[in-house]
């Protein structure tokens, strides 16, 4: 087929030898099956920000660190250079997340690098060697649904232990290879410790998956895996082999707002007293 404009530079640089066919066009990118030497891989060509339909992208970028201060200032001002840098950070976020999660034992496509807005990664296939279907296109038995749900909860736990939350996880972001489910689509991956929306995104991810698998295994319906995972994480007890039971009960105890305010006021008073002592000491030593 004709080589897409975005992939031409990769062909010229010898990173891609042949574009075999377009796989699909999604809300944020187009996917192609390509040949790299003797290997068949996937090329993800990111769409321009003006063409993407991914909602509330700013929420997902919260907490992402930019090492170069000039780059960070430009992104905040949203200048033309800043918008370009924002795009590069958005694109590189996925390859970074894939590398982190692959090392953490989460089944994701192996990344080979992001070049000029094109992510080269492993092509996930089924038992016959064809492109693996999405979870929403597969019919499951109750036993398989229970088993795959356990696998996905383990993936979610390991992602969180690695400091990341998918942020858009559902039956549409999981591929089914012969060995089990594979997590895909991670440019919006959230920094669990630095994003104020982390908890709600983790809960949404887990609820989405559990509700889907419950269609085939009704006993999963109503289980509280999300709260259990997040509370264990907040308590510092989450580890990669943690297995949630789904029996978590939300606390019904009212928040002690007055107690919190009292602590804040005490801390402020102590700070003011320290400042007074510091000013007095400086005045006496002058």
249: in domain: no
- Domain of 269 in residue numbering reads as 255-286
Quick check: 238 and 157 in contact, CB under 8 A?
A: yes
Helix (H, G, I), strand (E, B) or coil at 112: strand
* Residue carrying the six token digits 């089944």: 107
Is there a single domain that holds both residue 218 and residue 266? no
Number of domains into which the chain is organized = 2
Q: How far apart are CA 91 and CA 85, in angstroms?
A: 10
Residue 17: φ, ψ to 5°? -95, -30
> 195-210: per-residue pLDDT in tens?
999 999 999 999 999 9
Tokens representing 144?
A: 């398989």
* Residue 27's pLDDT band (cuts 50, 70, 90): confident
Residue 260, pLDDT score: 47
Tokens representing 194?
A: 């630095």
21: in domain: yes
Instruction: Tell which wins on pLDDT, 24 or 153.
Output: 153
- CATH code assigned at 199: 1.10.510.10
Residue 236, pLDDT score: 97
62: in domain: yes
Is there a single domain that holds both residue 113 and residue 148? yes
Is there a single domain that holds both residue 29 and residue 128? yes
For residue 229, pLDDT over 90 is answered with yes
Is there a single domain that holds both residue 226 and residue 265? no
Quick check: 194 and 217 in contact, CB under 8 A?
A: no
Residue 81, pLDDT score: 57
246: in domain: no
20: in domain: yes
Identify the helix (H) or strand (E) that includes residue 145: helix 142-161
Of 206, 85, 115, 196, which Cα lies nearest the Cα of 157?
206
Is there a single domain that holds both residue 267 and residue 125? no
pTM: 0.77
Instruction: Tell which wins on pLDDT, 122 or 61.
Output: 122
Helix (H, G, I), strand (E, B) or coil at 100: helix
Angle made by CA atoms 184, 147, 104, in degrees to the nearest 5? 45
Average pLDDT on 145-165 reads 98
Of 21, 3, 20, which Cα lies nearest the Cα of 12?
3
Q: How far apart are CA 182 and CA 172, in angstroms?
A: 11
Instruction: Burial-class residue 250 by CB neighbours within 10 Å (0-12, 13-18, 19+).
Output: exposed
Tokens representing 200?
A: 């709600």
Is there a single domain that holds both residue 182 and residue 270? no
Query: Could you tell me the CA-to-CA distances from 53 to 35, 47, 174, 182 in Å, in that order?
Result: 29, 10, 19, 23
> 233-278: per-residue pLDDT in tens?
999 999 999 999 998 876 655 555 565 466 556 655 665 666 676 6
Q: For residue 249, give the DSSP letter.
A: -
Question: How many residues in the chain?
Answer: 286
Is there a single domain that holds both residue 187 and residue 281? no
Average pLDDT on 166-194 reads 95
Q: How far apart are CA 143 and CA 219, in angstroms?
A: 11
Is there a single domain that holds both residue 131 and residue 273? no
Quick check: 82 and 76 in contact, CB under 8 A?
A: yes
Is there a single domain that holds both residue 175 and residue 278? no
Q: How far apart are CA 27 and CA 60, in angstroms?
A: 16
> 41-84: per-residue pLDDT in tens?
999 998 876 554 445 555 555 555 645 555 445 445 556 655 55
Tokens representing 89?
A: 């950070």
189: in domain: yes
Average pLDDT on 166-185 reads 96
86: in domain: yes
Of 167, 154, 69, 65, which Cα lies nearest the Cα of 107?
154
Is there a single domain that holds both residue 52 and residue 143? yes
239: in domain: no
Is there a single domain that holds both residue 123 and residue 265? no
DSSP, residue by residue, 47-98:
PPTTT---TTHHHHHTT---S-HHHHHHHHHT-HHHHHHHHHHHHHHHHHHH
Is there a single domain that holds both residue 150 and residue 260? no
Q: How far apart are CA 262 and CA 210, in angstroms?
A: 40
Average pLDDT on 124-140 reads 96
Quick check: 134 and 176 in contact, CB under 8 A?
A: yes
């Amino acid at each position: 087929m004709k080589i897409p404009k975005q992939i031409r530079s990769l062909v010229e640089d010898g990173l891609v030898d042949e574009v075999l066919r377009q796989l699909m066009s999604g809300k944020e990118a187009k996917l192609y099956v390509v040949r790299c030497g003797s290997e068949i891989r996937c090329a993800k060509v990111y769409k321009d920000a003006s063409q993407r339909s991914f909602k509330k992208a700013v929420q997902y970028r919260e907490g992402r660190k930019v090492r170069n201060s000039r780059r960070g200032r430009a992104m905040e001002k949203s200048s033309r250079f800043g918008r370009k840098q924002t795009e590069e950070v958005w694109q590189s976020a996925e390859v970074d997340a894939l590398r982190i999660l692959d090392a953490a034992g989460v089944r994701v496509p192996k990344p080979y690098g992001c070049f000029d807005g094109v992510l080269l990664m492993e092509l996930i296939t089924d038992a016959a060697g064809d492109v693996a279907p999405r979870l929403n296109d597969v019919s499951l038995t109750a036993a398989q649904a229970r088993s795959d749900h356990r696998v996905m909860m383990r993936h979610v736990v390991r992602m969180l232990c690695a400091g990341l939350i998918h942020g858009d996880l559902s039956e549409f972001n999981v591929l089914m290879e012969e060995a089990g489910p594979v997590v895909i689509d991670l440019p919006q991956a959230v920094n669990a410790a630095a994003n104020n929306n982390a908890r709600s995104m983790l809960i949404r991810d887990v609820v989405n998956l559990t509700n889907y698998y419950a269609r085939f295994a009704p006993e999963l319906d109503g289980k509280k895996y999300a709260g259990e995972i997040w509370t264990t994480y907040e308590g510092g007890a989450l580890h990669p082999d943690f297995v949630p039971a789904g029996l978590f009960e939300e606390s019904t105890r009212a928040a002690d707002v007055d107690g919190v305010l009292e602590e804040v006021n005490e801390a402020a008073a102590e700070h003011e007293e320290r400042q007074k002592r510091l000013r007095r000491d400086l005045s006496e030593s002058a």
